């Protein structure tokens, strides 16, 4: 027996040692993938020596002698820090994820091949000018200089996938740009959900459940401040009944605002921007400062592309929010005389899949195997997608090149004439005191039958310059007054955020960087404040429910992470929503259960009070009754999770911003290593956005603020920035998650333009790129 135990002990020790050796080997492999950030690298296709300086936050500052080497060096930096992210985005847009991850991605690949983003990206190459071709080629050369090097060690994800990244080509960059456009676009693929809801509710009740933009909602531009040049004869412009989005307010959104010198303490403009996107690890953006003898531009870049997307140069600053235009439709046609195209999807571990595509003219036919287009057709009919996304003359990816040296609003406006998709609300400010906004993009004009008969001319797109109200503020809310003659969308949203932003702008006669910081971090909900009278009138039937009601009724509407009210309110609103419309949607309830802030605003204020009556009972239920029941239900569900002392609850304990890894975000053990979590406040209605999903089973925030920027036009180097979780895509890098907590806490960093590699700030690492 002792011998057996002795050998058993040796076996355990051996297994422990083996595990330790394996762990050490894995750590060594992951660590060896970290990029070289100091010393010298000798690379092909480089003209002259370039310096890449990474400051203490990992933010890249590039110093080159010309544009070729500047864009080349950004390709180097992106490949060093974000190669797997770039690869995933180009594969996603090209319909080639199945090659990496297998059959799980087949439907996604089939959808993307059908939508044709890659085909359109390749087709747009001839619409770029020689200087833009040179920039795209230089960037690709920089990427390839890293990933084809003899001693290159790919990021950790490639170890698990047992593969390496392919060489980069300019069409990959154009595809990545298309992916961003696709992610921000309103699209006709929502129309089946609209149809299903109409079948359930009927047109009148649907108009309440998907309410149009409220008449008293903030409108970004006043008629007297618009500078659009409209043609004398306008084409017919048909629109459908105004309805909101079928799934409620969209998580993809943003805030931006700009004030002129009359509203700032310095007498010069201030501009703020915080785009709202799906949170990911690594984050969407990559901060960079690009320097050449005739160039200085800094801000966030989109890995896979060579330009600063949101940022500033020495003279101007700009920021984006999503307009959400109606740029795609579904159309039912007879399935005759269709053009055919065959594509092959390679599936890892499985046989190839042949994809048979059909086209009616230039419009692609949607296959119900891959798209949810239920009950839209009869025998012999097909559904085609009309969309601007598959246009093959899209030059949007060139905008960063055109804005590099813009010095005034005319330069900026002219540069935006090449911006095709998706439509954005782009605010502007310059050091000479001017502010403005342009909404560039290709937006279709429809006739009264809904047929596409043209597009809004660039000169007719909404714009304003030095508006009389001295500011512009947007939060995906309604952008144009009713007098604007063209139809952009019916699905304006974000009016709760916009109301709070406008309130904060107008409450302060003289703004500065500190007041803008407070506005970006604001977690007060306009919707929650509207609910306070209903809280006071609610009559819970349990002691626990009454306790929650009493806490909520004394509240100021601030969903701060360190207070209990945000958790109580969210639990209540989730329960109240179920009580309000589960009986109306029946078996489809779970499919359409979302926060629906526009609809719930009407219920809470009493406009849609009839929805509080349960259609499955003979009694008459009121909203006050349901509000009390919701407190009782929230007390039970929240009490099980967080204990019986609600005064000790904290919203941040339940509400993490989740920066999910695209590959390992749902994989046990690995998700804890590769994804990043940090407690936050707010919700989908607060300026500091942190959306929740009712159907997820938790209160995490997978969508939120992807970056923050505040530009001070009186001293550009006083401008402030922050993103999360960090600059690097390498999980062992100190910059993989080092910004996450600071982002959540409302801290900012500076990205100054007044230092060189010879006089860097403390903590800077300098890498010299030398031509081969």
SS (H, E, C) 417-448: HHCCCCCEEEEEEECCCCEEEECCCCCEEECC
- Cα distance between residue 308 and residue 305, in whole Å: 9
- In DSSP notation, 542-566 reads SHHHHHHHHHHHT--SB--TTSSHH
- 657 bridge partner residues: 678, 701
Of the candidates 187, 182, 189, the one whose C-alpha atom is nearest the C-alpha of residue 95 is 182
pLDDT computed for residue 606 by the predictor: 96
Q: Tell me if 426 sits within 8 A of 437, measured CB to CB.
A: yes
Mapping DSSP to helix (H, G, I), strand (E, B) and coil, where does residue 620 land? Answer: coil
Number of H helices and number of E strands within the chain?
A: 21, 27
- Cα distance between residue 435 and residue 450, in whole Å: 36
Q: Tell me if 35 sits within 8 A of 80, measured CB to CB.
A: yes
Angstrom distances, CA of residue 287 to CA of 463, 524, 722, 730: 28, 29, 9, 16
- Other C-beta atoms lying within 10 Å of the C-beta of residue 95: 25
pLDDT computed for residue 393 by the predictor: 94
Which alpha helices (DSSP H) does 538-685 contain, by range? 543-553, 565-585, 597-605, 623-642, 651-654, 670-674
Q: Tell me if 38 sits within 8 A of 62, measured CB to CB.
A: no
The tokens for 323 are: 């307009």
604's CB contacts (< 8 A; 6+ apart) are 527, 530, 531, 534, 623
**Low pLDDT (below 70) residues in the chain:** 1-26, 28, 186, 238-241
Enclosing H/E stretch for 179: helix 170-184
pLDDT computed for residue 401 by the predictor: 87
Terminal-to-terminal C-alpha distance of the chain? 68
- pTM of the predicted model, to two decimals? 0.95
The tokens for 133 are: 């071709």
State pLDDT tens for residues 679-689: 999 999 999 99
- Other C-beta atoms lying within 10 Å of the C-beta of residue 205: 16
72 Cα distance to chain centroid: 27
> Residue 668 has what DSSP assignment?
T
The tokens for 624 are: 């006050």
- Other C-beta atoms lying within 10 Å of the C-beta of residue 400: 25
- Cα distance between residue 17 and residue 658, in whole Å: 35
Kindly list the strands in the beta sheet with 39-43, ordered across the sheet, starting from the edge strand earlier in the chain.
39-43, 765-771, 50-54, 60-63, 286-292, 295-301, 308-313, 316-322, 424-430, 435-438, 463-465
The tokens for 584 are: 């109306």
At 555, phi and psi to the nearest 5? -85, 160
pLDDT computed for residue 2 by the predictor: 53
- Cα distance between residue 495 and residue 723, in whole Å: 24
């Amino acid at each position: 027996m002792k011998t057996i135990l002795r050998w058993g002990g040796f076996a355990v020790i051996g297994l422990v040692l083996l595990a330790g050796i394996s762990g050490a080997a894995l750590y060594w492999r992951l660590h060896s993938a970290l990029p070289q950030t100091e010393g010298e690298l000798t690379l092909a296709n480089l003209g002259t020596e370039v310096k890449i300086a990474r400051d203490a936050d990992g933010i890249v500052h590039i110093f080159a002698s010309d544009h070729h080497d500047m864009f080349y060096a950004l390709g180097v930096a992106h490949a060093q820090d974000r190669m797997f992210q770039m690869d995933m985005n180009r594969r996603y847009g090209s319909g080639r994820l199945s090659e990496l991850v297998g059959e799980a991605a087949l439907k996604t690949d089939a959808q993307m091949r059908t939508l044709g983003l890659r085909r359109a990206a390749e087709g747009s190459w001839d619409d770029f000018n020689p200087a833009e071709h040179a920039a795209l080629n230089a960037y690709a050369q920089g990427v390839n200089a890293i990933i084809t090097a003899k001693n290159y060690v790919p990021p950790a994800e490639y170890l698990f996938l047992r593969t390496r990244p392919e060489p980069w080509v300019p069409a990959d960059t154009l595809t990545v740009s298309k992916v961003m456009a696709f992610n921000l676009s309103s699209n006709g693929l929502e129309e089946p959900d609209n149809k299903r809801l109409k079948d359930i509710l009927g047109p009148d009740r649907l108009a309440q459940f998907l309410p149009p933009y409220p008449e008293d909602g903030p409108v970004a531009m006043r008629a007297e401040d618009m500078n659009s040049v409209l043609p004398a004869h306008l084409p017919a412009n048909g629109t459908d009944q105004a309805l909101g989005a079928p799934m409620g307010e969209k998580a993809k959104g943003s805030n931006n605002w700009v004030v002129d010198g009359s509203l700032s303490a310095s007498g010069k403009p201030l501009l703020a921007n915080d785009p709202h996107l799906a949170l990911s690890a690594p984050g969407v953006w990559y901060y960079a400062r690009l320097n050449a003898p005739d160039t200085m531009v800094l801000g966030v870049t989109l890995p896979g592309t060579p330009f600063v997307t949101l940022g500033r140069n020495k003279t101007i600053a700009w920021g984006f929010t999503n307009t959400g235009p109606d740029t795609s439709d579904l159309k039912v046609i007879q399935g005759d005389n269709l053009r055919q195209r065959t594509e092959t999807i390679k599936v890892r571990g499985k046989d190839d899949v042949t994809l048979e595509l059909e086209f009616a003219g230039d419009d692609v036919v949607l296959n119900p195997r891959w798209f949810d287009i239920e009950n839209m057709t009869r025998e012999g009919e097909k559904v085609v997608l009309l969309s601007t996304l598959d246009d093959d003359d899209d030059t949007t990816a060139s905008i960063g090149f055109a804005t590099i040296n813009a010095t005034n609003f005319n330069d900026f406006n002219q540069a935006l004439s090449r911006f095709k998709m998706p439509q954005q609300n782009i605010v502007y400010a310059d050091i000479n005191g001017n502010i403005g906004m342009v909404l560039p993009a290709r937006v279709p004009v429809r006739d009264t039958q809904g047929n596409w008969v043209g597009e809004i001319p660039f000169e007719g797109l909404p714009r304003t310059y030095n508006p009389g109200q001295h500011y512009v503020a947007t939060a995906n809310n309604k952008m144009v007054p009713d007098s604007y003659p063209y139809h952009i969308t019916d699905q304006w949203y974000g009016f709760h955020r916009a109301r709070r932003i406008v309130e904060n702008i107008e409450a302060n006669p003289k703004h500065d960087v500190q007041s803008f910081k407070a506005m970006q971090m604001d977690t007060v909900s306009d919707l929650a404040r509207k609910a306070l009278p209903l809280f006071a009138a609610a009559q819970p039937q349990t002691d626990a429910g009454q306790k929650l009601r009493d806490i909520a009724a004394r509240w100021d509407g601030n969903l701060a992470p360190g207070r209990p009210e945000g958790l109580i309110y969210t639990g209540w609103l989730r329960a109240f929503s179920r009580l309000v419309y589960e009986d109306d949607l029946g078996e489809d309830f779970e499919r359409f259960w979302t926060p629906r802030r526009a609809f719930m605003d009407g219920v809470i204020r009493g406009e849609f009070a009839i929805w509080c009556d349960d259609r499955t009972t003979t009694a008459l239920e009121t909203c006050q009754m349901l509000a009390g029941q919701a407190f009782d239900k929230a007390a039970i569900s929240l009490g099980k999770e967080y204990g019986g002392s609600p005064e000790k609850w904290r919203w941040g304990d339940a509400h993490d911003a989740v920066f999910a890894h695209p590959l390992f975000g749902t994989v046990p053990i690995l998700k804890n290593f590769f994804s990043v979590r940090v407690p936050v406040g707010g919700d989908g209605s607060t300026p500091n956005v942190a959306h929740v999903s009712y159907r997820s089973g938790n209160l995490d925030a997978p969508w939120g603020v992807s970056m923050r920027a505040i530009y001070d036009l009186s001293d550009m180097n006083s401008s402030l920035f922050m993103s999360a979780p960090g600059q690097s895509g390498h999980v062992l890098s100190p910059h993989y998650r080092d910004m996450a907590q600071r982002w959540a806490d409302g801290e900012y960093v500076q990205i100054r333009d007044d230092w060189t590699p010879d006089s860097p700030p403390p903590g800077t690492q300098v890498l010299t790129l030398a031509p081969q």
